[in-house]
Structure 1
Amino acid sequence: MSGTKRTPLSEQVRAYVLDQIRAGKWREGSRLPSENQLCKQFDVSRITIRGAMDKLVEEGIVYRIQGRGSFVSRAEEGGEPIRYAGRPAEHRGPQLVAVLIPRLRGLLMTRLVEGIEKALEGSPCRIMLMTTGDSQKREEEKLKEALAAGAKGIIVYPSDGQTYNEAMLRLSLDRYPIVVIDRYLRGVETNCVCSDHYAGAYEATEHLLRLGHRRIAFVTSPYSGTTSLEERLEGYRQALNDYGVMFDRGRVIESAEPERLGAFLNDQPDLTALFAANEEIGLIAMRMAEACGKSVPQHLSVIFFDDYDHSQYARIPPTCVAQQGEEIGVQAGRRLLSLIGDPLQDRAMLRVPTKLIVRASSAEPPDGITPAAIK
């Protein structure tokens, strides 16, 4: 009887995956075969495959994205995948940290940058500010530029979409000091600082309900995969439910186009209130409402997420849900400094409360419904 030990099946699967990567058949960012496919190929149980994949994930060779599968991590020329080294930074002179935002305009973005600068005061870190134009392609290019410039850490307000770009995923999984603002990707652990979008939307909808409104629309840009927008829709839906108002999918529109909003308002003559997912959509909605003969707030109350400079002096000062941009920036900056000192600490998510600011664009409905009639 031979004394040679048989290689465990899970180790055989692991070795196969490594061989494919080293041979260049599966490259950086490539999706691996599914667990079911590997089970059939090796004629083994799913537990065996999962054990092999768990080991590869622990080694940083493979990373997982919930609902999408397993992927090959970054590799050096020699073929062995590597992870971010994660050594505490040595503070010798100024250190660059990159801040990526979609655009440098609007109250939220300016306050955000001010907050980050405030958090970095007294540290050796200096901001390298970059704009992405809300484009994932440009965002990935800027991330690479920041790394090439020697950035010790990155704060990024991701562009809209159902996924982070691949560079962001790799940096986060490789334990590079990176903090994400505004939204997170389900199934991918990241250090994230964001507003409490759900609570803010709930409070906005509740404000309208307490005024007596029952027929309330929700207007947003396409929200699927953008967690900040998904949470705002859920806050709106839950507030309706808690006040005994049935959620009507026909009162939700995913468009910021003036023509579509105008048609929507004309097709919904019984609406008495509208909650918009952001400032731009809210202002368009107010303009289109008046173009359709609905004066704000006499015929249609309007409330939206985000405030803007000098809004209190507008012809119709808007009721809005204000995000605390400076506080978000402060918390993101502090978190980044902590990660630069210790990149291997547990990832964390921090939610910053919003503030409801009641102004002149919301009022009781025109048909005499009172708050007491609802609850």
Structure 2
Amino acid sequence: MKDIPLYKQIKNHIIDQIQAGVLRAGDRVPSEAELAKLFRVSQITSKNALIELVDEGYIHRVQGKGSFVSQEAPESKTVSNAVIQNVCQNKTGLIGVLFPSLNIKVEFRLLYYLDKYIYDRGYKMLMHNCRESSEEESSAIQSFMDSNVEGLIIFPTLDEHYNESILRLSIEKFPLVLIDRYLKKINTNIVTTDNVQASYDAVNYLIQQGHKKIAYISPEITNSTTEDRAIGFEKAFLENKFSIDKNLWCIIDLKTIDADKDYEHIYAFFRNNPDISAVFTVNNRMLNLTVKSLNALNRRIPDDIEVFTFDEPDSNNINYILQDYKTICSKAVDLLIAQINSTEFTTSHIVVPPKLIFRDNCE
């Protein structure tokens, strides 16, 4: 794959989407700017991909409106309306569950309770690990459709800008629930933690404790979860009339994380900011690397630096936000089954409040 020019990789991706039925005749193709952002390339690269697609007859341009799949493009053969209708008419008792990875506690907890509630309601679960790949996610959706699942519960991938396969399911009103992360452009059922309020409450607590130099440690903001947690952090500062110092934000891009270079980045951040007195981390990976960095710099937790994080830490001297996994999964399964059994298409966004756990109360 690395030997194929970037513009051809983009071109091949769109051809795959057309031949898979995710993009059908008349559908709009992402613009040069959208493709450049999605694949992290220049607009010249994405433009070359679209030019070749036009030359080969896969798409056509409409002045002032964009690019669209040509009527002459290869026949759609997957995730089409016919396939979805066929699945809906064949009751199998199967529910497909897609997870972005199985690397952190949150995912294992959610998977455990989804399996429990799906079984309790008389269904069987098929699960696929997408390994943080949107392409793998699309492939898994098609595999589940081939298995005649009656509905899907999807925990979207980390770098989830725009997945046409999920959009297609929503457009065709196939029973679907997104959990934890959601796609703002897609109208479907969603169950999430109240990430904005939880982050606000945690950071507001740190401010009330007298901290002013509070670090924010997060992966690159590419999805609803990281975005909402950043919003909550900023809201706490604004409502306390504190200025937000973005120099104290340590944001790790996904390429650095994929290359396992994030520890060096976080270590350098804390070494260069010795006056930080508190830290908020958005997940366990960021927390573990923060703790490792602080230990290497002889910063003691919680004696001279206080930490608040999302999800249960391994240490009992760290405050954390406990997500209500049981409620999230129960609501998601009930929403999906209601959709499976309903003749009307309705959507809900259920926001589940978490609980703040303080180190003094940790067992």
Both proteins in one fold, TM over 0.5: yes
Choose 145-154 or 82-91, whichever is displaced more: 82-91
Tell me which amino acid in the other structure corresponds to 2:205.
H
TM-superposed CA distance for 1:111, in Å, is 2.4
User: Mapping of 1:1-375 within 5 angstroms?
Assistant: 27-28=24-25, 30-31=27-28, 77=75, 82=81, 84-85=84-85, 95-223=93-221, 225-255=222-252, 257-307=262-312, 311=314, 314=315, 316-342=316-342, 344-359=344-359
In 2, the alpha carbon distance for the partners of 1:239 and 1:183 equals 22
TM-score (norm 1): 0.71
Q: Which runs of 5+ in 2 are unaligned?
A: 1-17, 32-64
In 2, the alpha carbon distance for the partners of 1:346 and 1:76 equals 33
TM-superposed CA distance for 1:70, in Å, is 8.7
Tell me which amino acid in the other structure corresponds to 2:193.
S
TM-superposed CA distance for 1:76, in Å, is 10
TM-superposed CA distance for 1:124, in Å, is 3.8
In 1, the alpha carbon distance for the partners of 2:203 and 2:100 equals 28
Match of 1:171, SS? helix
Conserved? CA contact 1:181–1:192, under 8 Å: yes
Aligned residue pairs total 297
In 2, the alpha carbon distance for the partners of 1:202 and 1:227 equals 16
Conserved? CA contact 2:128–2:140, under 8 Å: yes
Over the aligned positions, Cα root-mean-square deviation in angstroms equals: 3.3
Higher relative contact order (CA 8 A, sep 6+): 1
Q: For residues 71 and 353 of structure 1, do their structure 2 counterparts lie closer, same or farther at Cα, with a shift above 3 Å needed?
A: farther
In 2, the alpha carbon distance for the partners of 1:344 and 1:328 equals 23
List per-residue Cα deviations over 1:143-178 (Å, max 9, x = no partner).
111111111111010101242421111111111111
Conserved? CA contact 1:86–1:176, under 8 Å: no
TM-superposed CA distance for 1:253, in Å, is 1.4
List per-residue Cα deviations over 1:104-150 (Å, max 9, x = no partner).
35432232123223433454421011111111111111111111111
Tell me which amino acid in the other structure corresponds to 1:291.
A
Tell me which amino acid in the other structure corresponds to 1:355.
K
Aligned residues with identical type, % of pairs: 27
TM-superposed CA distance for 1:273, in Å, is 0.5
In 2, the alpha carbon distance for the partners of 1:350 and 1:253 equals 30
Give the structure with higher Rg (CA): 1
TM-superposed CA distance for 1:360, in Å, is 6.1
In 1, the alpha carbon distance for the partners of 2:112 and 2:177 equals 16
Match of 2:112, SS? helix
Q: For residues 253 and 169 of structure 1, do their structure 2 counterparts lie closer, same or farther at Cα, with a shift above 3 Å needed?
A: same
Conserved? CA contact 1:195–1:354, under 8 Å: yes
Q: For residues 264 and 139 of structure 1, do their structure 2 counterparts lie closer, same or farther at Cα, with a shift above 3 Å needed?
A: same
Conserved? CA contact 1:96–1:126, under 8 Å: yes
TM-superposed CA distance for 1:318, in Å, is 2.2
Conserved? CA contact 1:100–1:129, under 8 Å: yes
TM-score (norm 2): 0.73
Conserved? CA contact 1:273–1:301, under 8 Å: yes
Tell me which amino acid in the other structure corresponds to 2:231.
E
